[in-house]
Structure 1
Amino acid sequence: MLSNSLFALRRRLAYPRTSIQLSILGLIGGCSAAVLIVLFRLTIEWIQSFFNPGGPFDDILEYIVPTLPIFAALLIAIFADFTGYKHYRLGIPFVLHRIKAHYGNIPFWNFANQFVGGVLALSSGFTVGREGPAVHIGATGASWFGQWLRLPHNSVRTLSACGIAAGISASFNTPLAAVIFVMEVVLREYKIHIFIPVMLASAAGSLITQAVFGTQAEFEFLSVFILPSYHYPWLIILGLTLGAVAFVFNRNLMRVIKAFRYVSMFPRLLLAGTITAIFGYFIPESFGDGTSAIYQAMVDPTNLNLIVILLVSKVILTWVAIGLGIPGGIIGPIFGIGVLIGLLIANVVITLDPTTQYMSTYAVLGMAGLMAATLHAPLAALVSVMELTANPGAITPAIIVIVMAYVTSAQFLKNRSIFLQQLDFQGLMYQTPPATNELEKIGVLAELNRNLKIIDYVNEQDVRFHIRELEPEQSLVVAIRHDLGVDYSLAEFDSSFSKKQDKVKYIPMQTIDTRSTLAHVYELLQDQRDGATLVTSISGEKVVGIVTWEQLHLILMKRNALI
């Protein structure tokens, strides 16, 4: 009874349609991801509590803290060596690849490296963000749930997207921005049957993190005021500046990555820890993820020396940490750098208009513009800023800054998303042909032809007899058994023989299981553009049906996808 119910569920999920089943599964997957993120954040806070004033290491704090990045880098390298360096592909670019090429299935040891490495990096002062681990951990938690139920791969991909949304929402308490980020950056398309479960998962992530960490927004201390119209020319200048900074930032980050590509992981991580420790010793304010710079700068936003020092140190430390392979995200540092650039422009503006209440407004706009130009995610940047500050007053000026920054970066300077540049450098696939892209959304159970007659091969005459006895629209599958197993062929009369219409043509069929998508069928049949693929149960013991090339051709013609 349970197996029949599971089969019915899997068949329903094979269709790319909105369903209550997929929505509930997305909600459960989102809760799983959010719980992992809460555990991740609590672990970081627990480790950091040891190094707070009044903690157990209070007497020797000034000696321990500057060396934390070095010890963390050593531990990250040791753990990566224990798990195998091949599993040290982490963060958002790796998840983008797994979503596109492997339906969101993420190996366990990659998750372990991301969790342990992310905790060590974020608790020791590296300039990395927690959104990278959040995306990786969230996608893993939700996809594991789909793997456990052995759901079709197309639905597992949706669950992975739900986990990513829940992970971001649980990290920053930004449910709407999490949904937009998934659609704009991860999936890069808007489909209503995916949109609904992703929204539910994101809401679940937000509620769970609110229950543990409270309801406050991350940067609600950044007051946003409506800017007078005479400030708008400065917004254009701010946007142009942010677009140019995004280009320089991405270009130099990739230079660091390429420069150390032939250096083994252990010395790379140790170098990153050493450089971070040196900066932390001389400039303690440079420690921590990018958001730490925001708190430091907003204490005294007119202190140009502090802002410049923080900006230079944060840019360098971000290039070092991300470029040398420290397991963390890039969005947190981008937020911090954007705020500092916004404050620089604001300090120029107050020389003409001494009103200092707009300082934090420029800081917020800098954060939005740099994220949009660096990641090529303008809508996600706009919504993120609105939610992080709990203030919709910045929407109109933010749109101006984001548009100017994005156009300057993408069109005039030919800057590409940093994630796509990393994927290209690593040789990881993130694009598929139109036909494959369409067929990946449909499970084989959605188009399965179950009207079969299966026989064991005895002789040619027996096969002819069974072909003549077939019912309309029924197909004959011939099983040829041998010592190594069973080979299946689709048997039909060869119509190319005008005199001998009863000559049998055998079309060998390769086998896939019920979790596969039509893209798997297309991959097997695209060369001959004929025949069929046999679909078996997940265990491979039972033949469930076949999917023919004609079915694929009809689907692609209806969807206007090229074949």
Structure 2
Amino acid sequence: MPEKQSEAEWNDQLPGIIRACIVAVIGGALIGVIGAAFRASLSWLGQRHLEFVDWAHGWPLLGWIFPVALGTVGVAIARLMIRPHPLASGSGVQHVEAIMRDQAEPGSLWIVPIKFFGGLLAIGSGLALGREGPTIQMGATIGAALSKSLKCPRIVMQELQAALGGAGLAVAFNAPVGGALFVFEEVARSFRLRLTLVTLIGSGTAIAVMRMILGSTSDFLVKPQEAGAPWTLGAFLILGCLLGLLGVLYNKITVSGLEVFARCSRWPVEVRAGIVGAIVGLVAWFFPRFVGGGDGLSQEILSGGMALGPLIIILVVRWFLGPLSYSAGTPGGLFSPLLLVGACFGAIFAGLVNAMIPEQASVSAVAFAIVGMTAFFTGVVRAPVTGIVLIAEMTATTALMVPMLVACFGAMLTASIVRGEPIYDTLRRRMLESFPRY
């Protein structure tokens, strides 16, 4: 009876909704501070990594040892950190979704510092991982912990952890609406009154706090774009269809990397992770800017100053580097790396289109790069509305909404035709097989 009374106090009536919103405000403020610190720390470490590799090039014959050693040690320690709490491995989005679907229990609050410092070590050492995975799971863990401390019913806890996970995504990419939509379209796959309210206020509070610390500039600086002539919608549709197929293939490569890593069980996981870090360190020796989250390369592509040759090299290297990095099982997300791949392919596609049409009818490589990011996100994650709004906020560009819609339609269609499973559905199933409900 007391449990039912407690649940009644938190139901969809006004007093319960207000209580839940207050918790969301507190949690949003916390993830706003933590996410801002995480972003600032990653930016600082990324610059130091470039300087470190540049310094190592002072020894042309033996200098490669330094980035390889950094990658080996840094990634091995990052992997060691999750040993007490394996749910802190990887992106963490699959765990947030499993809790929302009543398939798993929330993890320990220790996940927050593990994700924070483990993510800094892994990405700072060069792994091609995204900052959004750690911020999403940190936000969700904070939401679950606050809910438990206030003895919220399970359904309220599930909604609050999902809402603050979305706030974590919002903070990672300075995209409040995209973070909220991610909760509705991907995590919960539903709209409910209380869920909607706590998601909106949680993301809004987190972004407000983060912007007070880091400022409100969009993640990517992009010149004003135009949608282009009507015939270009056909080109955007073809681009989307291709990226839908490539998204399915990328998912398979990512999962295959995890399976290969798991099969090498005769070596401790930290040794295996260290080997991955060593490979990434060697890549850093030859291509220092190709490693890490990839925001710098994405910005260069979106500035329109990259030739076709370098774009192809980046695409090939990052196509394999992202899944390889994720296979190590360190804290880190998938979004940032896949956005770079989508931008590369979109810009390359624009170059091929321009080679086949008169110069006066040429298309914008920047526009195709932006739409490519959106379409590849759709092909991999299968959340087109989130992808469109997320990229629009990250680039402060709304003129490409129609091309984005057309390309995402193509990506969603082709990925569904070949029956490719969305990446987080696959990762959630694998997680539940490894960590049965407890």
Tell me whether the two structures share a fold, i.e. TM-score over 0.5: yes
Match in the other structure for 2:213: 212
Bigger radius of gyration: 1
1:404 to 399, 406, 410: 410
**What is the rounded CA distance, in whole Å, between the counterparts of 1:93 and 1:45 in structure 2?**
26
Structure with a larger share of its residues in strand: 1
Match in the other structure for 1:139: 140
Amino acid at match of 1:31: A
Match in the other structure for 2:21: 23
- Asked if residue 13 in structure 1 is aligned to residue 27 in structure 2, the reply is no
- In structure 2, runs of 5+ residues without a counterpart are none
Match in the other structure for 1:332: 336
- Asked if residue 346 in structure 1 is aligned to residue 350 in structure 2, the reply is yes
- In structure 1, runs of 5+ residues without a counterpart are 433-563
Q: Please report how far the alpha carbon of residue 199 of structure 1 lies from its aligned counterpart in structure 2 after TM superposition.
A: 0.4
| Contact 2:248 2:380 survives alignment (8 Å) | yes
| Contact 2:96 2:161 survives alignment (8 Å) | no
**What is the rounded CA distance, in whole Å, between the counterparts of 1:128 and 1:86 in structure 2?**
17
Match in the other structure for 1:177: 178
| Contact 1:253 1:319 survives alignment (8 Å) | yes
| Contact 1:139 1:162 survives alignment (8 Å) | yes
- Asked if residue 108 in structure 1 is aligned to residue 109 in structure 2, the reply is yes
Q: Deviations over 1:152-180 (max 9, x none)?
A: 22211122122112211111111111111
| Contact 1:95 1:104 survives alignment (8 Å) | no
| Contact 1:272 1:326 survives alignment (8 Å) | no
The residue correspondences of 1:34-49 to structure 2 (distance < 5 A) are 34-48=32-46
The residue correspondences of 1:443-522 to structure 2 (distance < 5 A) are none
- Asked if residue 308 in structure 1 is aligned to residue 312 in structure 2, the reply is yes
Q: 1:292 to 1:69 in 2, by over 3 A?
A: farther
The residue correspondences of 1:1-400 to structure 2 (distance < 5 A) are 11-15=8-12, 19-48=17-46, 50-51=48-49, 53=51, 60=56, 63=63, 64-65=66-67, 67-81=69-83, 83=84, 88=89, 91-101=92-102, 105-221=106-222, 223-264=224-265, 265-298=269-302, 301=305, 303-351=307-355, 352-354=357-359, 358-400=364-406
| Contact 2:349 2:368 survives alignment (8 Å) | yes
Amino acid at match of 1:325: G
**What is the rounded CA distance, in whole Å, between the counterparts of 2:375 and 2:246 in structure 1?**
10
Match in the other structure for 1:515: none
Q: Please report how far the alpha carbon of residue 19 of structure 1 lies from its aligned counterpart in structure 2 after TM superposition.
A: 2.4
**What is the rounded CA distance, in whole Å, between the counterparts of 1:139 and 1:158 in structure 2?**
9
Match in the other structure for 1:518: none
1 or 2 for the larger relative contact order (CA 8 Å, sep ≥6)? Answer: 2
Q: 1:49 to 1:283 in 2, by over 3 A?
A: closer
| Contact 1:29 1:162 survives alignment (8 Å) | no
Q: Deviations over 1:301-339 (max 9, x none)?
A: 551110010001111111101123232110111110000
Identity of aligned residues (%): 21
> Helix, strand or coil for the counterpart of 2:191?
coil
Amino acid at match of 2:38: F
TM (norm. structure 2) is 0.88
Structure with a larger share of its residues in helix: 2
**What is the rounded CA distance, in whole Å, between the counterparts of 1:84 and 1:206 in structure 2?**
28
Q: Deviations over 1:419-455 (max 9, x none)?
A: 111222333599x9xxxxxxxxxxxxxxxxxxxxxxx
**What is the rounded CA distance, in whole Å, between the counterparts of 2:323 and 2:55 in structure 1?**
33
> Helix, strand or coil for the counterpart of 1:229?
coil
Amino acid at match of 1:233: G
**What is the rounded CA distance, in whole Å, between the counterparts of 2:358 and 2:39 in structure 1?**
42
Amino acid at match of 1:312: V
TM (norm. structure 1) is 0.69
**What is the rounded CA distance, in whole Å, between the counterparts of 1:20 and 1:148 in structure 2?**
17
> Helix, strand or coil for the counterpart of 2:400?
helix
| Contact 2:148 2:157 survives alignment (8 Å) | yes
